[in-house]
Structure 1
């Protein structure tokens, strides 16, 4: 049984949006749920009824009501949601126009900028007018090669107000990485900043952007935001205009929000692209809106009085998720730069200063914070903080315990997991439920999630494939350049027809929680026994001698053997004693099956641009297979270390 770390009080439970929603369901449907379990089961058994109630609870703004919630709740892919409805995504996010703070921007330059909801509306109106004058119409694409700053949100909202689809990359992407993405979708307008800050240094973007737009002839206008310089010189870049000169100079503009079908394209998101060109996943305005509001309002308990922060870039789906918080009227804190600059305490100083109530980050950040010996609760006033969210990779039991020990004892720690594909979560937080060490609190409402065993049967308490057996609104409506849907089908539905296979390896616990065990395609199979990589990382990376690691399976003598690569912490060498310590730690705390056949030091561990370990790429390199798209990696040179390692040819 997992260790109980936190239980909400009766007051906390009854003041939550989730409790209010559950009470509403009881009143309207004659049910008598008193906990999440009953509500969850009802939601997956009554999917059309659930989403109908969610539409009303979230007060979705639509100029025309829907005719039916879903045409066929048993068809996946291809189910049509909320046919007949006409709405606009940006209109729903800009429903407030008052003097409450909408955005707070804190970059590494330490200059604090704010926008109220009224000011945000005005800025979006000016940029929307400029985009319209530039010829942008519904169905066009507008892209951003941008830091996580207010202008990025303004540009997205302006584009979506017209019915254009938005797509973004963060400025740390390489030229080929950007071309692989934007080159496919052919945007008409591209927003960028002149540069960005990282670890205290201003880095130029204009040289790369000039190269990029020279290779994307669809771009008719490049809009440059001044960030690292007051007035950057853009004279050498064709079709370029400064943001302040581009936006309309008119005052008091009203936005003419294009009223479009529920499934009108809103975002183009991308797969990591480590096995070839990134897949371009097109997601709908209505689907993203209602799915995000379910997760923000119910699972995160976000309210108007909250201040929410998520450490993210514009190249990660958590940016899109965070931006939808505007529809609740909350205050969003944006940060761009290194979270450890100028010190490991930087984000917690900001949390205190901005009175952040919901703090979102990654599992890697929390592990690094613990390794740095930072104990925020001892130095900062975090009294407003009521929730910490973590995603990106499985959160270890030690990191769960660290948050309650070193950050705050009375908060909801919601480890959340889903994917770019759905721009949301399969499993996440429950403000009415307990937090157990190592477990995501619950499966998401109306997400019919199971762990499937090798026979395709649901199992509880044992490891299996994460699947979703019913459609949900935020599924991609299609993949770009995939007219017959073949890429879409093979991505999720080629193993279990009509059932979404996500590619994660999980356990559904007896009390309804979820434990993540890593990517199923990176699962190790020594002796035919399936082992999730997260189980090894949890043991290895709590050792002070190990800074980072990656584990893969190597084909060996008609079987698979476990190979562990370690990046050592400064001042340590991989001695026989340390190898024995690592093996003993794994044997005692995981199992003898988890013990690696080889432990090999490497100077660095490769990551995608979204900070996920690339186990599959490492596996390809050690088997002398080509890694097709190294530009999808944050540090592609790290892969070179894994080629031709003599020790891998030895017994």
Structure 2
């Protein structure tokens, strides 16, 4: 039984958006729902009623109402939502035009910049007019190769106000990584900064843009935002224009938001691309909007009075999720740079200074600040903070305890999980429910999430494949350049026909929470027993001697053996004694089958740019197989440490 770490007070429950929604639903449908579990059950039993209620409660702005909530609910893929509705995504995010702060930008080593909702609307209106003058229209692709700046948000909103499709790449991608993504979608306009800062260093972006342009002939205009330098030299980029010059001819004014169907394309997102060319996942405007409203209003309890932050690049779906907070009218904090510069507590220092109420980050970050000895609750004034969100990978049990011990006792810790594939979450926080150590609080409303055993049966309290057995509005419209939907079906629906298979290895707990044991394609299989990699990480990374680790299965003598690679703290050596300590810690807290056959040291662990460990890439390397797309990695050089290891020959 997991330990109870936090419970909301009756006052917190009563004041929550979730409670207001339950009351709204009870009035609307003459129901007697009393708590989250009953609401969740109703949301999956009566999905059309639930999503209709969410449309109204979320205040979706539209020019034409829907005629039907959903048709073909028995088809996955194939269900269609909110037929005949016409709306514009950007209009929904720009519904407020007052003097409240909309965005706060904090760049590494820079003073914070702020913009109000009124000024944001005006800046977007000017940018939209400039894009329209270029001939940008419905269905065109507009892309960002940008740091997490205010201008990035403005460019996205301007493009989507016209019905163009937005796509972005983090500026730390190499040329090949950018071409693997943008090269597939033929963008018309590219927004870039001249450079960016990370870890106290300046990185040039224009040199890479110069290398990209010959390979992207569809681009008609490059707009450069000065960031690293006040007046960047554009001589090497023919036809490029500085941001201010691009906007100069266009005064602010009332915006004309192009009204579009619910399922009009909004964003193109990319799979991590560690196993080949990234998949271009197309997300619809209406599905993204209503799902984000649900997750922000209900599961995050976001209100206008909140200040929300998520540490993310513009290439990760958490950026898109964060920016949707504008539709709620909250203040959104954008950060760009290293989370450890100039010191490991930098983000918590910013949280104190900006009065952040909802602090979003990754499991990797929380583990890292604990290793660094950061004690945020004692070092900074976090009195405003009421929720910490974590995603990217499973949050270890130790990190749950760390948050309540060293950050704050009275806050909601919401480990959330979903992905780029659905631009949202399958499992989330519940501000009206308890937090148990090691568990994600609940399955998302309207998301019929189950765990399937190897016979394809739904199981509770047992490990299984995470599946979703009913359609939901934020499913992708499909993949770009996949007219018959073959790649799309192969990605999610081939394994269980008409059922979404997500690729996570999970357990639904007696408390209706979720435990994630890692990616199911990286699941270890020694002796035919399935083991989630996160089960091993949770033990190993509690040891002060180990900074990081990665575990893979090696094919060996007709079976699979578990190989653990560890990155050790400075000055620590992998002695026999330390190996025994690692094995003992794993054995005592899991099972003998979890204990690695070999423990080896490496100076670095490879991650994707979005902060996910790449077990499959390491597995390929130790088996002498190629890793097809190393540009998706933040530190591709780390793979060399796993190749040709003599220790794996015996």
Using the TM superposition, give the Cα deviation of residue 200 of structure 1 relative to its aligned residue in structure 2, in angstroms: 1.3
What residue is the counterpart of 1:12 in the other structure?
Answer: 12
Question: Which residue is equivalent to 2:227?
Answer: 227
User: Is the Cα contact below 8 Å between 1:194 and 1:229 reproduced in 2?
Assistant: yes
SS of residue paired to 1:219: coil
Compute the displacement of 1:72 (Å): 1.6
Which secondary structure does the structure 2 equivalent of 1:143 belong to? strand
Q: Give the drift of 1:248.
A: 4.3
User: Paired residues, what number?
Assistant: 650
Q: How many Å separate the matches in 2 of 1:226 and 1:109?
A: 16
The CA distance in 2 between the partners of 1:248 and 1:509, in whole Å, is 57
1:323-382 CA distances to partner (integer Å, 9 max, x unpaired)?
Answer: 000000000011000011111111111111110000000001101111111111112211
The Cα of 1:3 is off from its aligned counterpart by 0.2
Residue pair 1:197, 1:228 contacting (<8 A) in 2 also: yes
Which residue of 2 is the match for residue 108 of structure 1? 108
Structure 1 alignment gaps of length 5 or more = none
CA contact (8 A) 1:129 1:248 kept: no
Q: Residue 494 of structure 1: SS of its match in structure 2? A: coil
State yes or no: 1:205 paired with 2:185. no
Displacement of 1:109 in angstroms is 2.9
2:408 is matched with 408
CA positional deviation for 1:251: 3.2
Does structure 1 conserve the Cα–Cα contact (< 8 Å) formed by 2:287 and 2:475? yes
Q: Cα distance, 1:311 vs. partner?
A: 0.4
Give how far 1:111 is off. 2.0
- Tell me which residue corresponds to 2:179: 179
Superposed CA deviations along residues 440-474 of structure 1, whole A, max 9, x for unmatched, are: 00000000000100011111111000000001111
**Does the CA contact (< 8 Å) of 1:47 and 1:73 recur in 2?**
no
Is residue 31 of structure 2 the alignment partner of residue 31 of structure 1? yes
Alignment of 1:236-315 (within 5 A): 236-315=236-315
Residue aligning to 2:629: 629
Greater CA drift, 68-77 or 425-434? 68-77
CA RMSD of aligned residues (A): 0.8
C-alpha distance in structure 2 between counterparts of 1:518 and 1:241, whole Å: 45
* 1:282 CA drift (Å): 0.4
**1:632 Cα shift?**
1.2
SS at 1:432 equivalent: coil
Q: Give 3-state SS (helix, strand or coil) of 1:335's partner.
A: strand
Task: Give unpaired runs (5+ residues) of structure 2.
Answer: none
Deviation for aligned residue 1:48: 0.7
CA deviation string 1:216-236 (max 9, x = no partner): 000000000000111101022
Q: Distance in 2 between matches of 1:249 and 1:36?
A: 52
Supply the distance in 2 between the matched residues of 1:275 and 1:376 (Cα, whole angstroms).
Answer: 38
Note the 1:32-47 alignment, pairs <5 A.
32-47=32-47
CA distance in structure 1 between the aligned counterparts of 2:244 and 2:315, rounded to whole angstroms = 24
Separation (CA, whole Å) in 2 of partners of 1:236 and 1:195: 15
**1:327-366 alignment to 2 at 5 Å?**
327-366=327-366
Aligned to 1:442: 442
Aligned to 1:394: 394
Moved more, 430-439 or 19-28: 19-28
Superimposed CA distance per residue, residues 71-129 of structure 1 (whole angstroms, 9 cap, x where no aligned partner): 12111101111110000000000000000000000101322111000000000000000
- C-alpha separation between the residues in 2 aligned to 1:109 and 1:234? 25
Instruction: Give the whole-Å Cα distance in 1 for the aligned partners of 2:148 and 2:631.
Output: 21
Partner-residue secondary structure (3-state), 2:184: helix
Partner of 2:140: 140
- Structure 2 counterpart of 1:63: 63
DSSP 3-state at the match of 1:383 = coil
> Which deviations, in whole Å up to 9, do the C-alpha atoms of 1:252-311 show, x marking residues without a partner?
411110000000000000001111110000000001000000000000000001000000
Residue 620 of structure 1 corresponds to 620
Residue 34 of structure 1: how far off its partner (Å) = 1.6
Indicate whether 1:121 and 2:121 are aligned: yes
Contact persistence 2:141–2:187 (CA under 8 A): yes
Q: What is the rounded CA distance, in whole Å, between the counterparts of 2:31 and 2:460 in structure 1?
A: 26
Displacement of 1:566: 0.8
TM-score normalised to structure 2 length: 0.99
Residue pair 1:6, 1:435 contacting (<8 A) in 2 also:
yes
Give 1:383 deviation, angstroms: 1.2
1:75 alignment partner in structure 2:
75
TM-score (structure 1 length as normaliser): 0.99
CA distance in 2, matches of 1:376, 1:604: 26
Per-residue displacement from partner, 1:376-429 (whole Å, max 9, x unpaired)? 111221111110000000001110011011011001000000000000000010
Contact 2:123 2:252 in 1 (8 A): no
**1:48·1:73 contact (CA, 8 Å) conserved in 2?**
no
Q: Mean alpha-carbon deviation: is it higher for 405-414 or for 107-116?
A: 107-116
SS of 1:605's equivalent in the other structure is coil
The separation in 1 between residues aligned to 2:449 and 2:48, in whole angstroms, is 17
Looking at structure 2, the residues matched to 585 and 54 of structure 1 have their Cα atoms a distance apart, in angstroms, of: 46
Contact 2:129 2:250 in 1 (8 A): no
2:304 counterpart SS class:
coil
Give the structure 1 partner of residue 371 of structure 2: 371
More deviation, 489-498/248-257: 248-257
Aligned to 2:504: 504
Q: Distance in 2 between matches of 1:67 and 1:33?
A: 27
Q: Give the whole-Å Cα distance in 2 for the aligned partners of 1:352 and 1:608.
A: 29
Distance 2:205 2:52 in 1: 45
Provide the rounded CA distance (Å) in 1 between the counterparts of 2:413 and 2:82: 33
Paired residues of 2:43 and 2:50 also in contact (CA < 8 A): yes
SS for the counterpart of 1:64 is coil
Tell me the residue number matched to 1:477: 477
**Whole-angstrom distance in 1 between the partners of 2:291 and 2:219:** 31
